[in-house]
Structure formats: structure tokens, C-alpha cells
Structure 1
Amino acid sequence: MTESIKLLQGINWNEQGLVPAIAQDWQTGEVLMLAWMNEEALALTIEEGRAIYWSRSRQALWRKGEESGHVQSLRELRIDCDADTVLMKVDQVGGIACHTGRRACFFQKLEENAWRITDEILKDPRDIYGSKP
């Protein structure tokens, strides 16, 4: 049994064979996004040293930055105490993690019983992805 297979067996995958993966800026600690990984995505992330996720909508692997160029280079990989969540400390190349053109996906804050957008768009998604955001 190879080391990578042993590592993957230590993960508590959900019923769909997925685990949530949090991407966090390795220098600032800012939480950039949450996505999902299957076994292949996690194995490739470890092997390639960059974030690779499982797209639930496309039912396919998704190499972060393959279209946008905003790659997440892996600096550190952790799992939580129940081994059912992955935390990746990453270097966010290009500074944009969110498909909306913002630095991070968590740009809405609850204030006075309403969601308020707190972070500006750094780059128009049409300039990143063309006509599809």
C-alpha cells in the first residue's frame, strides 16, 4: 500500500465520497473559499502541490485557476479532529479566489438582519472568464 493511499484512507468521506476543503491564505489566515474534494482531487492536490477540487455541478475535477489563472499553490495541508474537513493553506496566485472577481468568497456580512456586501470586485468576472461567470 502506497503512502498516498494510506493518507486518503484516513479521511472521513461523506456519503457522496466527498470532503469539504477550506482554502486559507497561508500568510494572512484569511479564509478564501470552501469547495469539495473527492479522493482523486485530494491525491492530485498532494501530488501536484496545487488545489484541485471536485465540481459537484460539472461532476468533474476542477484545477483551481485552470481558466482564470488564479491558482492556489499548496503550502500546508491539515485535517480536522474528525478527519472530515480538509484545510489547505495556500498562496493565492493573482489575489482572486472567488469567481465573482473578489479576493474571497465570504464577502457578505450579516448586519441589521440583512446581508451586506463588504468586499469590492477586484476584476470583472467577464474579463476573467469571458461571457460566463
Structure 2
Amino acid sequence: MSLSMLELEGAAIGSRFPLEPVLDALPWNRDGLIAAIAQQHGSGAVLMLAWMNRQALSETLATGQVCYWSRSRQQLWRKGESSGHRQQLVEARLDCDGDAVLLIVNQRGPACHTGRPTCFYNAIDGDHIHIITEPSA
């Protein structure tokens, strides 16, 4: 079955589509990646942005443990594999044109490698950056 993201844009509420043709239709970038935003279930806090390839997204959907693609290491990055600060998938969503994935997760420990609960702690305040979150103790 061939599918375009435009078909999803016009679909009525309650419509259902097989997963594989939708994944095939995603506009993966030239490196085979798609942006993935992690959001904390319940609070809605935006935790981080990372990248996924098809394998990382498929593994995440199959296991419920979030897996990304590390652009710096050029390998799968299973969130929390070394730190223990894992992300358990609650729900995955695609945006309207399929160029981003929203991962609603239960985050165990801080999401950021700095020890902060979120990677978005640098607030732009006029012509300054204001640090708004302390690392966890």
C-alpha cells in the first residue's frame, strides 16, 4: 500500500492506517533521520530533542524503551543505557506533515546529560541567556 502524508492530513478523526506504509512515507532527511521531541507524560514538560532513524523508531515502538540515533557516535543510543535515566514510551505521535515525532515518555532521572531535568534550560532573555534550571542534586 502506497501512502502519502497528505492522506493523513485530510483524514477524519478515528481513521486508522497501517503503520509500515506511514513510516515508509515519512520525509526522513538525507541521513535517514527524523527529529524526535521527548515530552514528560503528565506534566507536558519538553525534555529534549534528539534524532531517530527507522531502526531507532521501530525499536522504540516495539520495546517501549526510547532509542535514538547518536549523530556524533553514528550508532543507536538507547536513552539511559549508561546513566540509568531511561525513557519509557507512553505514546508516540507524528506531526501533521510527518517531519517530527513526539514521544510522550515517563522519564526516570534527569533527561539532560548535564543532570538537569530538561535540556531546555537556556532561556533567551533579550540579549542574554538566562540559566533557569539547576542540575539535580
Check whether TM > 0.5.
yes
Shift of 1:22: 0.1
Q: 2-side partners of 1:39 and 1:63: how far apart?
A: 14
Contact map agreement 1:8 1:43 (CA 8 A) in 2: no
User: Could you tell me which residue of structure 2 aligns to residue 119 of structure 1?
Assistant: 133
2:50 to 31, 35, 39: 35
Q: Which residue of 2 aligns with 1:128?
A: none
- State the alpha-carbon separation in 2 of the partners of residues 112 and 75 from structure 1: 36
- Residue in structure 2 matched with residue 71 of structure 1 by the alignment: 86
Identity %: 51
Once the two structures are superposed, the pairs formed by residues 15-94 of structure 1 within 5 Å of their partners are 15-94=30-109
Whole-Å separation in 2 of the counterparts to 1:26 and 1:16: 29
Measured after TM superposition, the shift of residue 7 of structure 1 is: 4.1
- Contact persistence 1:4–1:43 (CA under 8 A): no
Structure 2 match to 1:106: 120
Moved over 6 A (4+): none
- What residue ranges of structure 1 are gaps of 5+ in the alignment? 124-133
C-alpha separation in 1, matches of 2:126 and 2:29: 35
Looking at structure 2, the residues matched to 45 and 10 of structure 1 have their Cα atoms a distance apart, in angstroms, of 18
Which ranges in structure 2 are unaligned for 5 or more consecutive residues? 2-17
- Tell which deviates more after alignment, 65-74 or 106-115: 106-115
Query: Secondary structure of 2:58's match?
Result: helix
Instruction: Deviation per CA, 1:17-55: give whole Å up to 9, x if none.
Output: 100000000110000000000000000000010110000
Q: TM-score, normalization: structure 2?
A: 0.84
Between the aligned partners of 2:135 and 2:96, the Cα distance in structure 1 is: 35
Give the TM-score taking structure 1 as reference length: 0.86
How far apart, in 2, do the equivalents of 1:84 and 1:110 lie?
26
